[in-house]
């Protein structure tokens, strides 16, 4: 698993993919930080995080599209599946590599909080909670992305499909105001990732939201493993 993780992480920097992801993410986060924090002269990073969560929709599929589809297309899966490595090890190695890219990028954006600390006295607890929620949201999106990447051998299709699915997950939040059935509203609110992310963004660290995201991630990673298993048996 560690060998696969390291290869995968390196592969992001062998191709333009890693640079594109980090570069564009930092460009947009810089823009949002300037607009929502510097120009407004506020230490509240909630607006920054909600704006940036939109960027995830576009950039996470880029991070995940090639993870498994490329292996199948180049037949390198034959090397992995005939090596003494478990499917779980392969999928986890890849997932953690994408997750590390996200983490690296988020750590770089930590510079903004240093600025805030120099010029003011920001509520660090709230900001860190926001970061945790933001990271869990990104981690969930990655698990969707790796799952879709296992379904096709075409990277473009993987990227477009992941993007569409993430948009649909986003839509759930937009449907809520139009739903009349209170039961339906409840279900949608329970399922909506954004609603749960906003709770973190308000500075509330609640266990059930963490459990929600973690179980979401485990479900999709598990599904990815099952898809690969099924592909071999069919």
Partner 1 sequence: MIEIKNLTKKYGNHVAVDNISFTVEKGEILGFLGPNGAGKSTTMNIITGYLPSTEGTVTIDGYDILEQPFEAKKRIGYLPEQPPLYMEMTVAEYLDFVMKIKKVKQKGKSHIDDIMSLVQIGDVKNRLIKNLSKGYRQRVGLAQALIGNPEVLILDEPTVGLDPKQIIDIRNVIKDLGKEHTIILSSHILPEVSAICERVIIINKGKIAAIDTPENLSQALTNERKLIVRVAGEEKQVMKCIQELEGVRNVEVQGQEEPDAIDYIIESEPGIDIRKPLFYVLSKNQFPILMLKPLTLSLEEIFLQLITSEKEVINSDSNI
Min dist CB 91 to partner 1, Å, is: 14
Of 182-221, binders to partner 1 (CB under 8 A) are: none
Beta strands in the chain (DSSP E): none
Taking the CA atoms of 93, 213, 62 and 115 in sequence, report the sign of the dihedral they define: negative
Going residue by residue from 14 to 33, which x/- string records binding to partner 1, judged by CB under 8 A?
xx------------------
Closest C-alpha to 67, from 13, 139, 147, 179 = 147
> Shortest Cβ distance from residue 234 to partner 1 (Å)?
8
- By CB under 8 A, name the one of 77, 131, 137, 224 that touches partner 1: 77
Contact flag: residue 40 with partner 1 (CB under 8 A): no
Q: Exactly one of 27, 40, 78, 204 binds partner 1 (CB under 8 A); which one?
A: 78
Listed ranges 8-16, 96-104, 158-166, 189-197: which one lies at the site for partner 1 (CB under 8 A)? 8-16
DSSP, residue by residue, 114-127: HHHHHHS---HHHH
**If you write DSSP's letter for every residue of 155-186 in order, what string do you get?**
HHHHHHHHHHHHHHHHHHHHHGGG---HHHHH
Nearer to partner 1, 17 or 104 (CB): 17
Least spacing, CB of residue 157 vs partner 1, in Å: 20
Contact status, residue 221 vs residue 67, Cβ threshold 8 Å: no
Under the phi-then-psi rule, with left for phi > 0, alpha for psi from -120 to 50, and beta for the rest, what region is 75?
A: left
Strands (E), 27-182: none
Residue window 124-163: x/- pattern of binding to partner 1, with contact defined by CB under 8 A:
----------------------------------------
Kindly list the residues in this chain that would bind partner 1 in the complex (CB under 8 A).
2-4, 7, 11, 14-15, 74-85, 232-234
């Amino acid at each position: 698993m560690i060998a696969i993780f390291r290869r995968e992480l390196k592969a992001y920097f062998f191709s333009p993919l890693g640079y594109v992801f980090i570069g564009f993410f930092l460009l947009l986060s810089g823009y949002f930080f300037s607009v929502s924090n510097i120009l407004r002269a506020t230490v509240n990073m909630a607006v920054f995080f909600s704006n940036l969560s939109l960027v995830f929709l576009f950039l996470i599929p880029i991070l995940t599209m090639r993870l498994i589809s490329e292996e199948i297309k180049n037949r390198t899966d034959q090397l992995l599946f005939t090596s003494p490595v478990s499917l779980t090890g392969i999928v986890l190695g890849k997932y953690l590599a994408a997750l590390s890219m996200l983490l690296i990028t988020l750590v770089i954006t930590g510079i903004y909080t240093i600025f805030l600390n120099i010029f003011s006295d920001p509520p660090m607890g709230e900001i860190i909670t926001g970061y945790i929620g933001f990271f869990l949201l990104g981690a969930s999106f990655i698990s969707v992305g790796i799952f879709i990447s296992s379904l096709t051998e075409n990277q473009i299709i993987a990227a477009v499909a992941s993007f569409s699915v993430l948009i649909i997950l986003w839509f759930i939040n937009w449907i809520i105001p139009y739903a009349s059935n209170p039961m339906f509203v409840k279900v949608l609110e329970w399922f909506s990732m954004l609603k749960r992310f906003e709770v973190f963004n308000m500075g509330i660290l609640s266990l059930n939201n963490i459990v929600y995201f973690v179980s979401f991630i485990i479900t999709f990673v598990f599904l990815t493993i099952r898809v690969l298993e099924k592909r071999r048996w069919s």
